[in-house]
Amino acid sequence: MDRAFRFVLVASILLLAAWLASSRELDLDFWVHLATGERILQTGEIPRIDEFSTTAAGTSLPPTEWLFEVALAGLARALGTNAVFAYKMIVVCAWAGLLVVAGVRGGARIETAVAVASLALLCAAPRMLPRPEWVTILGLTAVAMGVTRSESRRLRPGTVLVTWLGFA
């Protein structure tokens, strides 16, 4: 297959990823994540009590997403809230690229890898909001790629991602 066709395929998956991730829609708790991250940056402490929600204010807050919240607040502080949408687009494009690379490394033809990655992007599109899960999905894809490069080859990125997205 010639290089120009490969380039068009890779460019098309990245353009699809960027287009799907270009939505400026926010998750309902985006502002809570941002405010919690700001509070952590200001105080240097992870809050243990929910201060920002209207339905659970004053209840215990498990510190499960504090690193994402700090990164989100730091990004918004340094570059403005528009940078959050750029972050989302970069993460989704990186995920699409990793899916294609994983498919090709797994023995699929590039056309097949791009088709499967496109399908994964279309299925994930409704969940493409600036959420902590996207960092996890990107990391999980990279880990799965590392596992598939190992000698065991028992764990495939597609299996891991389908399982993960089913529970996310």
- Interval 111-161: pLDDT, tens: 999 999 999 999 888 877 777 877 777 777 777 666 656 545 555 555 555
Please report the pLDDT score of residue 150 as a whole number: 54
What b/e string do you get for 66-80 counting C-beta neighbours within 10 Å, with b at 16 or more? bebbbbbbebbeeee
At residue 41 the predicted structure's pLDDT band, cuts being 50, 70 and 90, is very high
Max mean pLDDT range (21-35, 62-76, 140-154):
62-76
In this structure, are residues 125 and 16 in contact, taking their beta carbons and an 8 Å threshold? no
Whole-model pTM?
0.72
How far is the C-alpha of 98 from the C-alpha of 10, rounded, in Å?
11
Q: Is the pLDDT of residue 68 over 90?
A: no
Please report the pLDDT score of residue 157 as a whole number: 54
Counting every residue written for the chain, the total comes to 168
Q: At 164, is the secondary structure helix, strand, or coil?
A: helix
Average pLDDT of the residues of the chain: 81
